[in-house]
Amino acid sequence: MSDLLERLRGRGWRMTAQRRVVAEVLDGDHVHLTADEVHARAVSRLPEISRATVYNTLGEMVSLGEVLEVSTDRRAKRYDPNAHRPHHHLVCAQCGAIRDVHPSGNPLADLSADERYGFTVSDVEVTYRGICPNCSAA
């Protein structure tokens, strides 16, 4: 089940109970938990795990490129284990639900040279906003 855990193990990561739990909590599709949500779920499996460890572990997974940081709102960062398929995000403006999406165009090509102001542009991040089916029904 845990592809993420497998990949991390294969990189000589020192495996600890805490790291295992964090990786397991984070695994899955369309998963975008905040650090404190990860911590809350981790605590239910390993009650003595500390907040700092969760933050550290998430940070390491990001550095290793196994997890992406997502900032769809300006509250907490969210962590996306689906790091190996490039994608953007669709966010419900009301309830905050997030889906991974794969738009067809390439926005990098849409930025002309004179709109780059001499920057070396390397990355683009696209966030779609709207209302999810649940919220528009209510």
Distance between CA atoms of 37 and 42, rounded to whole angstroms?
Answer: 8
Using CB distances below 5 to 8 A depending on partner kind, what does residue 95 bind out of DNA, its own copies, none? Answer: none
Residue 127 contacts its own copies per CB under 8 A = yes
Residue 15 contacts DNA per CB under 7 A = yes
Within positions 51 to 80, which residues make up the interface with DNA, using CB under 7 A? Answer: 51-53, 55-57, 59, 74-77
Identified binder of DNA from the candidate list 44, 50, 94, 134, rule CB under 7 A? 50
Residue 18 contacts DNA per CB under 7 A = yes
- Which letter, b or e, does each residue of 108-132 get, where b requires 16 or more Cβ atoms within 10 Å of its Cβ? eeeeeeeeeeeeeeeeeeeeeeeeb
Bridge pairing between strands 88-92 and 78-80:
unpaired
Using CB distances below 5 to 8 A depending on partner kind, what does residue 49 bind out of its own copies, DNA, none? Answer: DNA
Give ∠ CA 100-16-69 in degrees, rounded to 5: 25
Distance between CA atoms of 99 and 7, rounded to whole angstroms?
Answer: 24
Binding site for DNA (CB under 7 A): 13-19, 34-36, 46, 48-53, 55-57, 59, 74-77
